[in-house]
Amino acid sequence: MAENKEIRNSRLYLHLKKWLEIAICDYNMIEKGDKLLVGVSGGADSLVLLDLLDSSMIFVPAFSFIAVNIDMGFDNSYRGYKILEKYLRKNNYRYVMEKTDIGPVSHSEYNKKNPCFLCSRLRRKRIFEIAAEEGCNKIAFAHHRDDIIETLLINMFYGREISTMVPKQRIFGGKMHIIRPMTLLREELIKKYCKERQFPVIKNACPTSRISKRVYVKKLLDKLSRDNKDIRENIFKAMSHVKPDYLLPLSNRDRNRH
């Protein structure tokens, strides 16, 4: 692991580290000897995840990791690429950075309607390939509590299903797992810690990132929170209190369609 020379002893750091460890242990995310690929976009969330994973942890078994950045190839991304590379090198992280044209391809004329679908697909495909090349058995993403809440709503509003991102997901028949160590961490605190540590955040150059469904749902939740400040917390907790008997069963008509 990278040796971090800065002293990390703020209350916020200890709070985030504690909840990261709780999530890792509660969901059995990391086992002894695991090799993690940590997806690093250069945004605040992924830089915080990298920093937290590079801490000495009390209850988490020994593991190693490599940071992987897939550069999307949007305009002006060269500067961001250089900043991130400098940061990873300075902190002695092991890393792979790859330049791609996934961004422009996903926004090309024939795919303008839904760039996110193709973009996520192509990016993930490359991440899985790099994980295999580097001998990683787990892929850690920087999705946090708020992402999980928003994804539930996005899937309901636009996908007609009740589902979200899970803390640990088995893929390729169990050969690999996706893990989300920041499952229990609130976005607000992650951003605050990022500022506190002055990480070199790279702005997302994707034109869709400002108008995506996620942005819409985030704003909607902000609006609802003004009347009920517990709304995010309630939605998060509701995902562990599902009462299947009080949901709609498949009708005969639905069954015949499936």
Contacting residues toward ligand SF4, per CB under 6 A: 72, 106, 115-116, 119-120, 206, 208-209, 212
Residue 187 CA, chain-centre distance (Å), reads 11
Least distance (Å) between residue 205 CB and ligand SF4 = 9
Shortest reach from residue 73's CB to ligand SF4, in Å: 11
77 vs 106 by CB, closer to ligand SF4: 106
Pick the closest to residue 130 from 214, 85, 65 (CA basis): 65
Q: Please, which residue, 116 or 231, has the CB nearer to ligand SF4?
A: 116
Mutual angle of helices 11-26 and 187-197, in 10-degree steps: 130
Closest distance of CB 106 from ligand SF4, Å? 5
At closest approach, how far in Å is the CB of 72 from ligand SF4? Answer: 6
Q: Output 137 or 209, the one with its CB closest to ligand SF4.
A: 209
Beta carbon nearer to ligand SF4, 96 or 206: 206
The least distance separating ligand SF4 from the CB of residue 99, rounded to whole angstroms, comes to: 15
Cα separation, 103 vs 3, in Å, equals 33
Cβ of residue 119: shortest distance to ligand SF4, in angstroms? 3
Kindly tell me which of 69 and 208 has the beta carbon lying closer to ligand SF4: 208
In terms of CB distance, is 119 or 190 closer to ligand SF4? Answer: 119
